[in-house]
Amino acid sequence: MTAVTIQCCPPLIRGPLSEQDAVDLAALLKAVADPVRLRLLSMIGSHEGGEACVCDLTDAFDLTAPTISHHLKVLRTAGLIDGERRGTWVYYRVIPETVARLSAIFTPMADSVRQA
């Protein structure tokens, strides 16, 4: 009755997500479920040297500095980026491990939905 796909380890398909896992993953997803934060993450990750100064980030948006700071804090709290002050400026970089968690949620699911 229950046919199983050969492909390995689909997180969402393998079995119903536990309530706790769902809460954890949803919190992580919520951190990136915003256009500004997505672009911030993208700008930091794609910046040369793997890090970007807050001053560069702020200039790229039609938003005030406190708003950008708020979004950076959300990303930081979620463990997606880490910031460090060096002299006058604060530099942020992506934490790949956390992005990997995001990446792992859906990746195997796309083409391995169970068949009857």
Enumerate binding residues for DNA (CB under 7 A). Answer: 30, 33-34, 36, 53-55, 58, 62-74, 83, 85, 87-90
9: left (phi over 0), alpha (psi -120 to 50) or beta: left
Q: Of 21, 41, 6, which Cα lies nearest the Cα of 115?
A: 6
State the binding string over 68-107 for a second copy (x if CB under 8 A, else -): -------------------------xx-xx-xx-xx-xxx
Which window, 48-56, 64-72, 84-92, contacts a second copy (CB under 8 A)? 48-56
- Based on CB atoms, which residue is closest to DNA, 44 or 72? 72
Secondary structure (DSSP) of 59-113 = HTSSS-HHHHHHHHHHHHHTTSEEEEEETTEEEEEE-HHHHHHHHHHHTTTTT--
Which window, 35-43, 69-77, 82-90, contacts a second copy (CB under 8 A)? 35-43
Stated length of the chain: 116
Q: Please report where in the chains the tokens 């992580």 appear, as a residue.
A: 28
Give Dmax over CA atoms of the chain in angstroms.
64
Residue 87 interacts, among DNA, a second copy, none and using kind-specific CB cut-offs from 5 to 8 Å, with DNA
- By CB under 8 A, name the one of 34, 74, 76, 82 that touches a second copy: 34
Residue 79 interacts, among a second copy, DNA, none and using kind-specific CB cut-offs from 5 to 8 Å, with none
